[in-house]
Amino acid sequence: MGKASSEQRVANSFSGGQCSCTAEKISALITALRTRHFALGLGSLKGCHSKRRTNFRRSANTKERVTAMLRLLLVRHGESVWNEEERIQGQQDIPLSENGRKQAVALGERLRGVKIDACFSSPLKRATETAELILKASGNSLPIATVSELMERNFGEWEGKCIAELKVESTEEFALWVAAHYLPAPPRGESVEELLARVKMGLERILAEVSDGTVLVVGHSGSVKAAICVLFQLPPDSFAKLKVDNASLTVLEISDGRPRLCHFNDTCHLRNA
């Protein structure tokens, strides 16, 4: 049997074998969530169209129009110490746990052979450390640009507390927040709509700097889910319907200003981590 092509090796790195989300499942997910138009969609993102490149390859008789494609590898950081303790982190700067470091290395090994052209990360150490470990294990050497808009949602007074504590200390307030699909802002915290607006600005910064190639973006559960809501024009209440695990891989391709979700919350690489 001949060796797989470089394109096939890259595809295999993203697909993770048999267990990644299928295109049919992803399509069904988007259809189910997109119940109405959301104003913070891709079409309004600055930089999405302005830096699109069009190349012309000369064939025997014609010029072939080739539009550049941007591939985003959206990653939630590996497990942190507070993830392990089931504490709400928000924007507290908590490091990875030992298991979280192993998860990041496992994802990097999965991406070995994939050329990463740029890397952006939340400035919180659990995200930057995840990015560093992924780049090293995947064989890529490049700087990590921090983007503050990729930080986790601000949970205000609830940061540092366990869910069990909140259910006792703020019984009614917490119950109302859950019943409202996590949309309102926690005390002195950030609402989902504020989070979406912030992440939208971060995406605009990234799209203003890169227009094609493969880009690693490391964030948090909240910022990864917000990015999906923004790019696919999903309503804010879709946010609570998405689940993004630690060290998971979500792959999107953007071509001609149109996003395509290829893999979502893929954790196949963690089976033996």
Give residue-wise pLDDT tens across range 154-213: 999 999 999 999 999 999 999 999 999 999 999 999 999 999 999 999 999 999 999 899
Give residue-wise pLDDT tens across range 111-126: 999 999 999 999 999 9
DSSP state of 270: G
| Stronger pLDDT, 25 or 152, i.e. the higher one | 152
For residue 81, how many other CB atoms are within 10 A of its CB?
Answer: 16
* Rounded-to-integer distance, Cα 67 and Cα 60, Å: 20
Give residue-wise pLDDT tens across range 117-151: 999 999 999 999 999 999 999 999 999 999 999 99
- Please pick, among 37, 49, 77, 181, the residue that the annotation labels catalytic: 77
Q: Is 263 a catalytic residue?
A: no
| Stronger pLDDT, 156 or 45, i.e. the higher one | 156
Q: Is 220 a catalytic residue?
A: yes
Give pLDDT, residue 272.
83
* Rounded-to-integer distance, Cα 40 and Cα 195, Å: 11
List, in order, residues 6 or more apart from 192 with CB less than 8 Å away.
153, 182, 183, 226, 236, 239
Looking at domain 37-54+62-154+190-270, what is its CATH homologous superfamily?
Answer: Phosphoglycerate mutase-like (3.40.50.1240)
- Please pick, among 49, 220, 263, 269, the residue that the annotation labels catalytic: 220
Residue 39 has pLDDT above 50, yes or no: no
Domain residue ranges of the chain, discontinuous segments joined by +: 37-54+62-154+190-270
Give pLDDT, residue 50.
38
Local confidence band at 68 (pLDDT 50, 70, 90 cut-offs): confident
List, in order, residues 6 or more apart from 62 with CB less than 8 Å away.
none
